[in-house]
Amino acid sequence: MHAGKSYKLPEFLVWTRRKIYKLFMLGLIPVILYEVLGFKWLDIPWAIIGLVGTSAAFIVGFTNTQTYRRTDEGQQMWTSIFSQSRAWGLISRDFFNNPEKSKLLIYRHIAWLTALRYQLREERIWESVSKKHNAEYQQYYTVPEWKTPLESELINYLQDDDLKYIINTNNKATQIMALQSVTIKQLYEQGKIAVLQFVEMERAIRDFYTQQAKAEQIKNSPYPRQYAIINTFFCLAVLHHPPFWHAQGF
């Protein structure tokens, strides 16, 4: 997401210059055909402007609403993770008299956050981040998850045995949280925590799983293609047809 106030005009022009060139050529061709070669039949009635333009406006507005809703869901989800992580740090510190166990649970939780962050930065086939114009725009920002391997980050928070196990798993964030549950169960069986503390920490792990599932749903559920292609058709109609609509005024 763009964290600044707005896109700057120069970077926006550089970002979209290929499409600007394409639209200029597509706009120039019908003018030449109409004025120079006398293809007067290319004229399109002005009534179509209102029909197609209104349809495109409704569709784009609906898409913007859906996009904002997904963004808001993501923000709420991450805020919940942030708040619950603070609580996890407190109970991990205050429920035990063993600083090493507290450190283990807190560091492992940071590893879960790191693995989830990397997982959400993975590229999906429907994403357009690798397209040429988007790849060029990446010079204006840096994505840490694309620069540093996950193992180099997890080594700061996981023990050696845990790190070897996690690196060889698929859903690393899920497996890290599973290790948390195993440790909590062992502490309860050893009598290091009371039953109410055990239940509270297991409930916290369940809540973290819930928030992770929400994040994965947003990541892995793109805007339906059957609706997206309709948006594309209407937007292309609005962008490519103005030279035909204005032919009578040339």
pLDDT of 247: 47
Average pLDDT rounded to a whole number, residues 18-25: 82
Average pLDDT rounded to a whole number, residues 178-183: 96
DSSP string, 160-208: HHHHHHHHTSSSHHHHHHHHHHHHHHHHHHTTSS-HHHHHHHHHHHHHH
Q: Please give the backbone phi and psi of residue 155, each rounded to the nearest 5 degrees, phi first.
A: -65, -20
Max mean pLDDT range (13-27, 39-53, 59-73, 111-125) = 111-125
Q: Please give the backbone phi and psi of residue 231, each rounded to the nearest 5 degrees, phi first.
A: -60, -40
Q: What is the pLDDT of residues 104-135, one digit of tens each?
A: 999 999 999 999 999 998 888 777 776 776 77
Max mean pLDDT range (58-67, 85-94, 129-138) = 85-94
Q: Taking the CB of residue 137, how many other CB atoms lie within 10 A of it? A: 17
Mean pLDDT, the chain, as a whole number? 84
Q: Taking the CB of residue 32, how many other CB atoms lie within 10 A of it? A: 11
Q: Count of alpha carbons within 13 Å of 250, Cβ hemisphere only?
A: 20
pLDDT-above-90 percentage for the chain:
41
pLDDT of 226: 64
pLDDT of 249: 47
Please indicate whether residue 185 or residue 69 has the higher confidence score (pLDDT): 185
Please indicate whether residue 56 or residue 195 has the higher confidence score (pLDDT): 195
Q: What is the pLDDT of residues 189-238, one digit of tens each?
A: 999 999 999 999 999 999 999 999 999 998 888 766 666 677 777 777 77
